[in-house]
Structure 1
Amino acid sequence: MSVITIKNVGKAYKNYNRKLDRLFELIIPFAKNKHKKKWVLQDIDFEVMPGEAVGILGLNGAGKSTLLKIISGTSKPTTGHVKTKGRVIALLELGMGFHPEFSGRQNLYLAGQLAGLSRKEIDSLMPEIEIFAEIGEYIDKPVKVYSSGMQVRLAFSLATAVRPDVLIVDEALSVGDAYFQHKCFDKIRKFRKEGTTLLIVSHDKAAIQAICDRAILLNAGKKVMEGSPELVSDYYNALIADKESGDVKHIKTNTGDVATISGTGEATVKNIKIINIDGKEIDVINTGQQVILKILVEIRKEIPRLILGYMIKDRLGQPVFGTNTHYLDMPVDNLKAGEYLSYEIAFDADLGEGSYSIATALVSTENHLADNFEWKDLALVFNVVNVDKPNFVGTTWMPVNLKIDRNCMDKS
């Protein structure tokens, strides 16, 4: 049985040409409508199962926050219905409900009781809330002297003092400092392990790929894609790169994976492979092995300036290393249609055991926002094994020079 069920959900706002038209509709309810509807969400359907973590991605204005408000009950849908089961906590616009003249502690009691907690329960939770929030003596000072980050700390600490059945998280956590963001996500991961169902909206693709089992992509108020976090993140990247042309497509690779390709097509990666120092093509690499990444690029139309970028990603699609020829100060200028460029990138594969992929980008500057000739995810997939290095964990091999002195007199 699902914990969250979204069925045919849509949300529209009424737009009036004149303020009097709104009054006219109120006074004469059966008269002709004086408004036009602006739909911000349409035909949204999905389910979230118990203990599942689902991420929601989308460009600004896609309807993400509106959807979360409908699910959390702070807004009503125009069409369709939403069903939730269990105790639902929504972290939306954290701290917005705090009274500026009251102290942090007073606001905790007010907000806690509004959330259904008794005063006795808040009393017992208060020490834990204070420790997690880490705002010190400010907890007894008026909220009006708080920074936005301090309000987020206090609100998150209260909202997560008791583990919910369903946790809904918006971009609110991006307000906090980096240290507190790490604390928040550690707590969210802990809730996940204990069985909390998670629904999270974030522009942080790495966070969604690390936490979520599945992702949903919204665009212009509609669900355009649902699948693995890596696949949806790749498509989201392509949408950002090609929001004007919209030329985004999927292809199946030789390994059976689905790769996302976008771009205007002036240049394309015709071939990509990894070879060893003897020139032999390989797809299994030993940790620390010297290898060469060879990329063949075909120029299809005249290009004033070409930049090649590449990104190595782990099996979850999170970046391990990336660079491009702009940063390396090696652009190629004045290219003609029909030319071919061969790139050879030599490096030591200081990677941990596992599966990795390489994404390629052909652009005109340091990023894909100006000209995106081609962006190809999963352009190449390879595996790393540890044959001759000491055991270690992680995605990066860092040679260690360890010294131990049992007769050390320095206690510093």
Structure 2
Amino acid sequence: MENEIVISIKNLTKDYKLYENKMDRLKEAIFINKKKYYKEFSALKNVSLEIKRGETIGLIGKNGSGKSTLLKILTGIITPTSGELEVKGKISALLELGAGFNPEYTGLENIYLNATILGFSKKQIDDKLQEILDFADIGDFIYHPVKLYSSGMFVRLAYAVQACIDPEILIVDEALAVGDAAFSLKCMNHMKKLVAKGVTVILVTHDVQAIRSFCSRVIWLQYGEIIKEGSPSEITSEYVKSLFLEEKAENLANVKKVKLKEKEPKKELIRWGNHKVLIRDFNIFNQLDEDTDILYWGERISIKLIAEVIDTDIDFENLGFAFSFRNKHGLDLIVSTTFDEGVSFANHSNNKFVEVQFELENILTPGDYSLVLSAEDRSNNNPSYYDFIENAVVFKVLGNKRFFSLVQPQIKQHVNFK
């Protein structure tokens, strides 16, 4: 049963007719001259794939790549234009937030409504009710109309209904993105338990780390076609890199590079401070000493900056420079300061320019990050800033293995058998 194919898709195509206005649709219905008043758009083009029982499939691709169309066909919401589809097993799907819920009904009433639509009897729902309530964990709000719910409460209830009624195939499309971190983790752990029981899970998300840590196989859709499929680490790395390079190419004309020894502060940067010291130039270098904004986990990297002393009356003894790597939530993951490492500039008050270099092994796990730089006055307990630059460089980290933490140093492991 382990290798049993539960979803088989052969040459699946979905075409839509796009009309410029409502009158064109009416003209086509009335006139018999066979003139086309529409443009054809193929949301899916000859898609073929097989999914086995117990597999965890990650479906990735940009908006408009055909992911949601494919899921709607799998769940029977829409029909394909051509091709073959065979599904073995009961499907539960968490697609668009609020789909299948009546906003006027209470949460409890919607549990019975949803489960009934999925083909469950009242007795079966009664037997599962407490498990659903415990998992949703929304308290007395279960007795209030869902139109009063926050998006987080909504997804809690929706996932609890779909996942707690013993599905054979579970489809989750981006809905967990609106939940809090604790509930998202709870859902991921629950899905792992379902997979252990032989449930097939299809997960659609833009969270590459979630795909890497949970899925056994990844399918990459682009413009309605499968362009690659394979291991999560390999496919997601290629996907993230393609997105980044594409975005970089699109915005290249608008990007202003930092010039060495630039005489005026960069106005496009978000920076603040009294500017008695100005950071004039900065770069991130990979282990090949290339100026880059794509790094790899585990490689040796360096951050270099050049600062200009504008006011020579500053306190050089308490001058410091610092960098921080922040994640997309603004959390400082790695911070280093020259002052706290005992570097002194007291004997260099006659130098107008100073170059600082930080070297380290990149322990950031794959994701999006930003470099923050500062020139500091550390004469007091709380630093004051000569120059503070937010998001000096926005960069990506790629990797070729699975990670389960925000940072991951390389660790040597020794095992002895006695």
Q: TM-score, normalised by structure 2?
A: 0.64
Q: Does 1:105 align with 2:105?
A: no
Pick from 320, 323, 331: which aligns with 1:328?
A: 323
Q: For residues 155 and 225 of structure 1, do their structure 2 counterparts lie closer, same or farther at Cα, with a shift above 3 Å needed?
A: same
1:145 to 141, 145, 148: 148
Asked if 2 retains the 8 angstrom alpha-carbon contact of 1:57 and 1:202, the reply is yes
Query: Could you tell me which of 117, 123, 143 is aligned with 1:114?
Result: 117
Q: Which residue of 1 aligns with 2:393?
A: 366
Q: Is 2:128 the counterpart of 1:133?
A: no
1:67 pairs with 2:67: no
| Percentage identity across paired residues of the two chains | 37
> What does residue range 32-71 of structure 1 map to in structure 2 within 5 Å?
32-71=35-74
**C-alpha distance in 2 between matches for 1:321 and 1:181:** 33
Deviation at 1:79, TM superposition (A): 2.4
1:385 alignment partner, SS class: coil
- Judging changes above 3 Å, is the alpha-carbon distance between structure 1 residues 358 and 32 closer, same or farther for their aligned structure 2 residues? closer
Deviation at 1:219, TM superposition (A): 1.6
Structure 2 counterpart of 1:195:
198
Give the TM-score normalised by structure 1: 0.65
- C-alpha displacement of 1:33: 2.7
**Structure 1 position 226, deviation (Å):** 0.8
Report what 2:359 is aligned to. Answer: 345
Corresponding residue of 2:288: 296
User: Aligned-pair distance for 1:323?
Assistant: 8.9
> Residue 287 of structure 2 aligns to which amino acid in structure 1?
I
Conservation of the 8 A alpha-carbon contact between 1:169 and 1:201? yes
Q: Secondary structure at the match of 1:99?
A: coil
For 2:246, what is the secondary structure of its paired residue?
A: coil
Count of residue correspondences: 307
Counterpart mapping for 1:144-223 below 5 A: 144-223=147-226
**1:179/1:52 CA distance change after superposition, 3 Å:** same
- Counterpart Cα distance in 2 of 1:243 and 1:77: 31
2:339 aligned partner: none
* Alpha carbons of structure 1 residues 46 and 323: separation in structure 2 relative to 1, 3 Å: farther
Q: State the structure with more CA Rg.
A: 2
Unaligned runs of 5+ in 1: 248-265, 267-292, 299-305, 314-319, 331-342, 370-374, 390-412
Task: Report deviation, 1:15.
Answer: 1.3
SS in 1 for 2:220: strand
Of 16-25 and 222-231, deviating more is: 16-25
Task: Tell me, in whole angstroms, the C-alpha distance in 2 between the residues paired with 1:212 and 1:233.
Answer: 11
Shift of residue 96, structure 1, vs aligned partner = 2.6
Tell me the distance in 1 between the aligned counterparts of 2:41 and 2:24.
16
Output the CA distance in 2 between the equivalents of 1:229 and 1:133: 29
- Which amino acid in structure 1 is aligned with residue 323 of structure 2? L
CA shift, 1:377, in A, is 5.3
Shift of 1:30: 7.3
> Could you say if the C-alpha distance between residues 198 and 30 of structure 1 is closer, same or farther in structure 2, counting changes exceeding 3 Å?
farther
Pick closer, same or farther for the CA change 1:106–1:64 going to 2, 3 Å. same
- Give, in angstroms, the shift of residue 244 of structure 1: 5.5
Structure 2 vs 1, CA of residues 232 and 134 (structure 1 numbering), >3 Å: closer, same or farther? same
Helix, strand or coil for the counterpart of 1:62? coil
Offset from partner CA, 1:363-383 (integer Å, 9 cap, x none) = 9952248xxxxx87569xx97
Amino acid aligned to 1:137: D
Map of 1:286 onto structure 2: none
Deviation (angstroms), 1:95: 2.6
- Determine if the alignment matches structure 1 residue 312 to structure 2 residue 312: no
Matched-pair contact (CA < 8 Å) for 2:138–2:153: yes
What is the match of residue 386 of structure 1? 413
CA distance in 2, matches of 1:3, 1:388: 41
Please report how far the alpha carbon of residue 155 of structure 1 lies from its aligned counterpart in structure 2 after TM superposition: 1.3
Q: Which amino acid aligns with 1:295?
A: Q
Secondary structure, aligned partner of 2:297:
strand
Cα deviation 1:17-50 (Å, max 9, x = unaligned): 3322212333356733321111222121111011
Return the alpha-carbon distance in structure 2 between the equivalents of residues 188 and 24 of structure 1. 50
| Cα distance change, pair 90–308 in 1 and its aligned pair in 2 (3 A) | closer
Task: Kindly indicate whether the alpha-carbon contact (under 8 Å) linking 1:310 and 1:324 is maintained by their aligned counterparts in 2.
Answer: no
User: Are the equivalent residues in 1 in contact too, given 2:301–2:359 (CA < 8 A)?
Assistant: no
